[in-house]
Structure 1
Amino acid sequence: MSLNSTPYYFVPAPSKYPVLASIGLLGFGGGMSAWVNGLSWGGPLVLAAVIYVLFVLYGWFGTAISESNTGKNGVNVDVSYRWSMSWFIFSEIMFFAAFFAALFYARSITVPWLSDVDNKLLWPDFVASWPTVGPANLVEKFSTIGPWPIPTINTLLLLSSGVTVTWAHHALREGNRQHAIYGLFATVSLGLIFLGFQAYEYIHAYSDLNLKLTSGIYGSTFFMLTGFHGFHVFLGGLMLTIVLRRMIRGDFTAENHFGFEGAAWYWHFVDVVWLGLYIVVYWM
């Protein structure tokens, strides 16, 4: 369905979904806080909140898709969607920038400061090296995860997925829906394999390397950066799965497919963030 050229801006009716999503996100935040502090009900609350939010998003996205398929969205709405997605991705960039800044501060400022002359009287045996177990040796010994093999394999997987989603986009713009479906299916599959490798890496870190979220500043920054990135891979894969379903049923045309473009933008953002993680976390 092509975009209509109506001069007015379609304004949807008041929606219940923002309030419902806020409730789920509040439960997710509370559950995560309880989980990392060792409370038994934290994990189940996080799981329940994620399932709840997914159901809310299913209804919310369904309403937006219905508005698009019935021709209510004109050019003005399309421009609004593009700006909204751009600002959303910018907010995600700032989100990850905060975690990268925390890693930089801990590694390049805090650790050298703890080993300077003024602090030698307090911690004479502390060596300013990264990773660190802290000056007071309160953190259990752990081993780090190097770039090979899983992080490098995951890098190749995400770079390949960036190629396949671009292939799908070009195919759609050329009117080749079959190749667009193939490209999207390959992208989603590569994302799932990435998550499988990351889950194995976490199990290996906890069981074999004693590397945990509680392993000092190294453990917390490692799992926060890689864990939130994995969550974003999951969200991006979910978006692309919905887009794939819509592609199969013929919702998109060569002229009107911002639902696909927005998800593709997000996926490329996830790829770029991973490249930064791969270099800063696993190599440096």
Structure 2
Amino acid sequence: MTNITRSNFQAHPFHLVSPSPWPLFTSISLLTLTTSGVMVLTMHGFSNGGYLFLLGLLSLIASMAFWFRDVAAEGTYLGDHTSAVQRGLNLGVALFIASEALFFLSVFWAFFHSALSPTVELGAQWPPLGITAINPFELPLLNTVILLSSGITVTYAHHSLIQGNRPGVLYGLIATIFLAVVFTACQGIEYTVSSFTLSDGSFGSCFYFGTGVIIGTIFIAVGFWRILAYHSTDNHHLGFESSILYWHAKRIIILFLYVSVYYWGS
């Protein structure tokens, strides 16, 4: 007869995470990346600062990739993501999106504070003296339309997954990732041709902090890869659903950014 001990049973539906080195490695990588970034970006010419920055970036990517691999294995193959665990993860994603919203609220607060009452240091005008705002009816308008269009394709992919339409999921996500990459490329072009930089006062800081969706693009791309690997099903796709929620939140923020910063702020 097999000897079954009490430790083989679990009296609760929650997942007790096994000891993992990846949080420690990720923290060290973030510290290295931040420190080297200060060396490179603010102390120009710091000896070997670029190599340290590259090392921190590569180690951060590797640590997070291994960490996400373990999480995907726990949820897909080990069955650790029960309904109770999924409720907790949903709450975590909601709090993360709320923190993003509050972060952008602080950016918009700083923008409107400076725009509605520009100080003498800003030339008592908005945009500040010496800064030429980007025409909102050129590349920014195209970029906003591209990003809003991606909401249609990602929603189509989500509904296709629920209905069991695998080709529809893949085509919808490919179109979404393509639109996101085009948006990022256009944003890069916009950065290179603009007449101001991140260091040009509150206008430059608020502008560059408020734009960009690279994290959302990576989020969607990871969801696409997991669907290719048959990790997600029609009733178990929490990671993919979380990426969609984050993507919709970013679209709303970018739309408000266009109206306030590009159109009104110019």
Q: Same fold (TM over 0.5)?
A: yes
Tell me which residue corresponds to 2:83: 75
Does residue 169 (structure 1) correspond to residue 177 (structure 2)? The answer is no
Aligned residue for 2:232, secondary structure, equals coil
Tell me which residue corresponds to 1:261: 241
| Residue 130 of structure 1, aligned match among 119, 126, 136 | 126
Tell me which residue corresponds to 1:250: 230
Tell me which residue corresponds to 2:113: 105
| Residue 181 of structure 2, aligned match among 173, 192, 198 | 192
Does residue 13 (structure 1) correspond to residue 18 (structure 2)? The answer is yes
Tell me which residue corresponds to 1:63: 70
Deviations 1:186-238 (A, max 9, x none): 11111100110011111111xxx3x1223232222222222xxx1xx211111
Name the CA distance, whole Å, in 1 between partners of 2:140 and 2:54: 26
The Cα shift of 1:50 comes to: 3.0
The Cα shift of 1:77 comes to: 1.0
TM-score normalized with structure 1 length: 0.82
| Residue 276 of structure 1, aligned match among 231, 252, 256 | 256
Aligned residue for 1:219, secondary structure, equals helix
Name the CA distance, whole Å, in 2 between partners of 1:154 and 1:16: 40
Name the CA distance, whole Å, in 1 between partners of 2:259 and 2:53: 30
Verify the 8 A CA contact 2:177 2:220 in the aligned structure 1. Answer: yes
The Cα shift of 1:48 comes to: 3.7
Name the CA distance, whole Å, in 2 between partners of 1:69 and 1:188: 23
Aligned length: 251
Name the CA distance, whole Å, in 1 between partners of 2:173 and 2:15: 30
Tell me which residue corresponds to 1:54: 61
In the alignment, structure 2 segments of 5+ residues that lack a partner are 1-10
- What residue identity is the alignment partner of 1:224? F
Name the CA distance, whole Å, in 2 between partners of 1:98 and 1:43: 31
The Cα shift of 1:279 comes to: 1.2
- What residue identity is the alignment partner of 2:80? K
Does residue 87 (structure 1) correspond to residue 95 (structure 2)? The answer is yes
Tell me which residue corresponds to 1:119: none
The Cα shift of 1:38 comes to: 4.4
Name the CA distance, whole Å, in 1 between partners of 2:253 and 2:204: 19
| Residue 212 of structure 1, aligned match among 187, 197, 202 | 197
| Of 162-171 and 93-102, the range deviating more from structure 2 | 93-102
The Cα shift of 1:273 comes to: 1.1
- Report the CA distance shift for 1:35/1:281 in structure 2 as closer, same or farther (over 3 A): farther
Tell me which residue corresponds to 1:137: none
Name the CA distance, whole Å, in 2 between partners of 1:155 and 1:69: 35
Does residue 33 (structure 1) correspond to residue 38 (structure 2)? The answer is yes
Does residue 222 (structure 1) correspond to residue 185 (structure 2)? The answer is no
Name the CA distance, whole Å, in 2 between partners of 1:63 and 1:159: 33
The Cα shift of 1:27 comes to: 2.6
Aligned residue for 2:199, secondary structure, equals coil
- Report the CA distance shift for 1:267/1:50 in structure 2 as closer, same or farther (over 3 A): farther
Verify the 8 A CA contact 2:13 2:85 in the aligned structure 1. Answer: no
Name the CA distance, whole Å, in 2 between partners of 1:281 and 1:99: 11
Taking only the aligned residue pairs, the percentage that are identical comes to 32
TM-score normalized with structure 2 length: 0.87
- Report the CA distance shift for 1:224/1:48 in structure 2 as closer, same or farther (over 3 A): farther
In the alignment, structure 1 segments of 5+ residues that lack a partner are 1-5, 115-122, 134-140
Name the CA distance, whole Å, in 1 between partners of 2:214 and 2:123: 38
The Cα shift of 1:36 comes to: 4.2
